[in-house]
Amino acid sequence: MPTIKGERLIADLRRLAQFGRYKTGVHRPTYSPDDMAARRWVAGRMEEAGLDPVIDGVGTLLGRSRASGRKLLTGSHLETQPYSGWLDGAMGVIYGLELARTFAEDPRSAGLGIEVGAWADEEGHYGALLGSRSFCGEVDEASIDGARGRIEGKPLREALAEAGLAGRPRLHLERERYVGYLEAHVEQGDTLDNAGLRLGIVTGIVGIHLYRIHFEGQQNHAGTTRMAVRRDAGVALVRLAAEIDRRFPSVAGPRSVWTTGKITLDPGAPSIIPGKAEMLFQFRDVEPERLALLVRTIEELVRQANAQGPCRVTLEPVSRVAPSAMDASFQQALESAAEGHAPKLHLRLPSAAGHDAQIFARYLPSGMLFVPSIGGISHHFSEDTNEADIVLGCQVFADAAERILREAAA
Amino acid sequence: MPTIKGERLIADLRRLAQFGRYKTGVHRPTYSPDDMAARRWVAGRMEEAGLDPVIDGVGTLLGRSRASGRKLLTGSHLETQPYSGWLDGAMGVIYGLELARTFAEDPRSAGLGIEVGAWADEEGHYGALLGSRSFCGEVDEASIDGARGRIEGKPLREALAEAGLAGRPRLHLERERYVGYLEAHVEQGDTLDNAGLRLGIVTGIVGIHLYRIHFEGQQNHAGTTRMAVRRDAGVALVRLAAEIDRRFPSVAGPRSVWTTGKITLDPGAPSIIPGKAEMLFQFRDVEPERLALLVRTIEELVRQANAQGPCRVTLEPVSRVAPSAMDASFQQALESAAEGHAPKLHLRLPSAAGHDAQIFARYLPSGMLFVPSIGGISHHFSEDTNEADIVLGCQVFADAAERILREAAA
């Protein structure tokens, strides 16, 4: 059983967190200089671990193994949400790196191939799960041409060119090369931490629907335009958002979540009635039927808003990711490894966050391991996990990976 | 009776609209390069008209008259709201310029002193009515030190330095120099246009209260954080805004208006629960008692929001401008002139928009003349007024100014 080196693992994670450091966390948007520097640094560490790293045309970093036979693909992502945590994504990449090193160092496991991917833009600055979708052949050139940054609207092509990636070929999955895909991640919720557990075996990953909702009214002077004749796009937005707040609890499942993450009033000045407004609205659930009900509900609320007037409301679907199940034998391998190192301190649970594993699950047997997030805090610079849990998780991950590779070879 | 030159007036207005031209309107924020270029261009026209122009330490342009005796101060402002109209402010300044030229050209009126001010930042990019308040001695150096741009937060001192104004002295009103203050402006509402009238004589100007309302919750992951434990600052904002929408109609007067012009969710990403949120909320009325009731109402709604939780809501007053009355004899002079040129096509009405005249009314007899806004549209690039109404308004303005000056000299 290959034994990982906990100090080396933690040191690499701490070093990686210096790229885009913000307070106790990290600000490393996709293709930012800090993000690209982090990719190059991890590529260097991959080389030292005996992997052959390559960065592709959408910024995905893949460290390829020279081992013969089918390999286990591992990985996660390196970019972060704005002003976010140091482990989200980064931990899964460094786990893969640590496995590759550990397996190579032990003659008994040196022949077991571990490959490590840092899939670009899982966080969706330009397109959710972009790198893993591109790797799996789900992204054509036209959709790259059309993609823009969600927050500032910069064309993806421009961002790729600025990052020095223009013209690079994109990598594509060779399915026969791999026995499957295994990803580790911080839970990001509070289920493990609240229950005093140390490991989570993911059963499935929620589907996510994201919409941009547009409101069109009439821009005008905020003093001289009587209330009765206004067509205030901001008021229309507030009314729809309040209806969502009122109606969604009655149609939601026990694990449904919904969020308005961004609101913009145009032109956004104190003395001007907004002529346009926009909100980003997202919901998630692991059950397809529940997602369908939530879709029908938001469509109905938008229809009602248009029927009431006086502003025009448009529901624009930005992205839809279907829920996906994890492979049963991978869950078994992770659970056995967890029971071996932390008896009874593990739990099977669905993932309420989206992950690259949900894309890979369409093409390869896939599995995911969670470690606890302290207080369930995530997508915030104060996100953290106890170092002992980080190290334990990596060892369990290594054991499961070894088992999966040996069973595949048997 | 001095006769203004309509073609010259329109030509100057069209030329001025080239500075920061945007579609059929103008984008000329205070202290922007376009704004400063416009000020310098008007200063040149003032010199040609025989005035002595000076730009002061907050960007106010004053064209001083060399006439002996007390003068009539006229003016308005040159900067615009974002992507706004070509006449708002600009028309009042060019009316003043046209009066100065017209009076100087006619030997019978050459001795009547007209001075023209372009008061900086009436539109409040850095502080509502900044130039006229500074000119009237209501702005101390400390408040200039502390002021920031409302939209991007740039310090006013920095903006002044970039505009080349750092270190310039500020001009101050010499009350004994003037018989009063007279301002012309587009109505910005639809009262005159709807009624088929051509001139409005302003009886008083509304008071304006502006607040920044802060919401503080807990930033977190939009997938893994259960609805039950969220402290979503954006949801708190939507709930308060919906309460304003529900409650304000029942406490408002017939001419009260209220507007949420800007909403910001922080950090503003689709997969992050907003930890902070902010809105700019403004209301206006001409009656002090009504304003006091609206103040009590917003304070009560914020108290209720805090009592309900789970987010903390803070009401920050940004600015309060009291309502003000126009001078009775100035109203009479304007009305007589209006009746002379457009019998029965004029109306006395309050101004629902704030104007520099409301500041001057505290120190000098003051009056205001309105011309119609087509469709009542204002603070939008499509704002417009018929050229015939612009020319008529200027002639009425000139007649009233002459009458006021002659009566003062009598």
**Could you read off the pLDDT of B189-240 as tens digits, one per residue?**
999 999 999 999 999 999 999 999 999 999 988 998 989 999 999 999 999 9
- CB-based contact A91:A391 (threshold 8 Å): no
pLDDT of residue A79: 98
Chain A residue numbers with beta carbons less than 8 Å from the beta carbon of B242 are: 238-239, 241-242
Q: Any CB–CB contact under 8 A between B257 and chain A?
A: yes
Identify the pLDDT of residue B224. Answer: 85
Chain B residue numbers touching A379 (CB-CB < 8 A): 219-222, 269, 271-273
**Pairwise CB contact (< 8 Å): B262 & A259:** no
Q: pTM value?
A: 0.73
What is the model's pLDDT at position B209? 96
Angle CA(B66)–CA(B69)–CA(B70) in degrees, nearest 5? 100
Number of H helices, E strands in chain A: 12, 17
Give the helix ranges, DSSP H, for A77-200.
Answer: 90-105, 130-135, 141-146, 156-162, 191-195
**Residues B123, B131: Cα–Cα separation, whole Å:** 10
Strand extents, DSSP E, B119-240: 178-186, 199-205, 207-216, 220-221
State whether A210 and B259 contact (CB < 8 Å).
Answer: no
CB contact under 8 A, B223 and A261: no
- A257 inside 8 A of chain B by CB: yes
Mean pLDDT, range B384-396, rounded to an integer:
98
Whole-angstrom distance, CA of residue A128 vs CA of residue A315: 19
Q: Which residues of A fall within a CB distance of 8 Å from B272?
A: 81-82, 84, 259, 261, 379-380
Interface of B with A in 44-73 (CB under 8 A): none
pLDDT at residue B287, as a whole number: 87
Q: Tell me, what's the pLDDT at B128? A: 85
Residue of B nearest to A261 (CA): B270
Please report the pLDDT score of residue B263 as a whole number: 98
Tokens 């051509």 correspond to B198
Q: A225 vs B151: CB contact, 8 Å cut-off?
A: no
Mean of pLDDT over chain B: 96
Q: Does A379 touch chain B (CB under 8 A)?
A: yes
Torsion region of A176: left, alpha or beta (phi above 0 gives left; psi -120 to 50 gives alpha): alpha
> Same CATH fold, A207-321 and A6-206+323-409?
no
To the nearest 10 degrees (0 to 180), the angle between helices B6-16 and B33-48 is 160
Q: What is the mean pLDDT of residues A135-157?
A: 93
Report pLDDT for B70. 97
Smallest Cβ distance to B380: which of A220, A258, A352? Answer: A220
Rounded CA separation B76/B55 (Å)? 14
pLDDT confidence of residue A234: 98
Within an 8 Å CB–CB cutoff, is residue B81 touching chain A?
yes
pLDDT digits (tens, 9 = 90+) for B236-295: 999 999 999 999 999 999 889 999 999 999 999 998 999 999 999 999 998 899 999 999
Q: Does A266 lie at the interface with B, CB-CB under 8 angstroms?
A: no
Residue A119: the pLDDT is 98
Predicted confidence (pLDDT) at residue B400 exceeds the cutoff of 80: yes
Secondary structure (3-state) at A49: coil
Q: Which pLDDT score is estimated for A266?
A: 97
What ipTM was predicted for this assembly? 0.74
Q: What is the mean pLDDT of residues A351-362?
A: 94
Query: A-chain residues within 8 Å CB-CB of B241?
Result: 238, 242
pLDDT (0 to 100) of residue A10: 98
B225 vs B77, residue with greater confidence: B77
Residue B202 sits at the chain A interface (C-beta within 8 Å) = no
Number of H helices, E strands in chain B: 12, 17
Chain A hits for B378, Cβ within 8 Å: 220-221, 224-225
* pLDDT of A237: 98
Whole-number Å distance between alpha carbons of A319 and A357? 17
Residue B150 confidence class, pLDDT cut points 50, 70, 90: confident
Nearest Cα neighbor of A139 from A164, A93, A175, A172 is A172
Of A220, A225, A354, the CB nearest to B223: A354
Q: How far apart are CA A110 and CA B181, in angstroms?
A: 90
Query: Does residue A251 sit at the B interface (CB-CB below 8 Å)?
Result: no
What pLDDT does residue A287 have? 87
Compute the nearest-CA separation of A389 from chain B (Å).
Answer: 19
Query: Which range, of A220-224, A248-252, B175-179, B194-198, averages the lowest pLDDT?
Result: A220-224
* CB–CB contact A268 B81 (8 Å): no
**Residue pointed to by tokens 């009103």:** B173
Q: Which amino acid is at A49?
A: A
pLDDT at B334: 98
Q: How close are the terminal C-alpha atoms of chain B, in Å?
A: 17
* CATH of segment(s) A207-321: 3.30.70.360
Domain ranges across chain A: 6-206+323-409, 207-321
Is B151's pLDDT higher than 80?
no
Q: Is pLDDT at A151 greater than 80 in this prediction?
A: no
Chain B partners within 8 Å of A224 (Cβ) = 187-190, 351-353, 373, 376, 378
Contacts of A358 in chain B (CB under 8 A): none
Do A256 and B354 lie within an 8 Å CB cutoff? Answer: no
Contacts of B278 in chain A (CB under 8 A): none
CA-based torsion, B221, B223, B225, B227: positive or negative: positive
Of residues A154, A153, A157, A127, the one with CA closest to residue A264 = A153
Question: Phi and psi (nearest 5°) for A211?
Answer: -125, 150
* Burial label, B142 (beta-carbon count in 10 A; 0-12, 13-18, 19+): exposed
| Number of A–B residue contacts, CB under 8 Å | 233
pLDDT, residue A14, reads 98
Average pLDDT, chain A: 96
- Option in B256, B268, B373 nearest A261 (CB): B268
B253 touches chain A (CB under 8 A): no
Chain A contact present for B385, CB below 8 A: no
What residues contact residue A340 under an 8 Å CB cut-off, 6+ apart? A396, A399
Distance from CA of A370 to the nearest CA of B (A): 12
Residue A201 pLDDT level (bands cut at 50, 70, 90): very high
Residue with tokens 């509304």: B206
- B201 by DSSP, 3-state: which? strand
Task: Return the residue of B nearest to A273 by Cα.
Answer: B261
The CATH topology of domain A6-206+323-409 is Aminopeptidase (3.40.630)
- Do the beta carbons of residue B274 and residue B231 sit within 8 Å? no
Q: Does B249 touch chain A (CB under 8 A)?
A: yes
CB contacts under 8 A, A 358-377 vs B, are: 373, 376-377
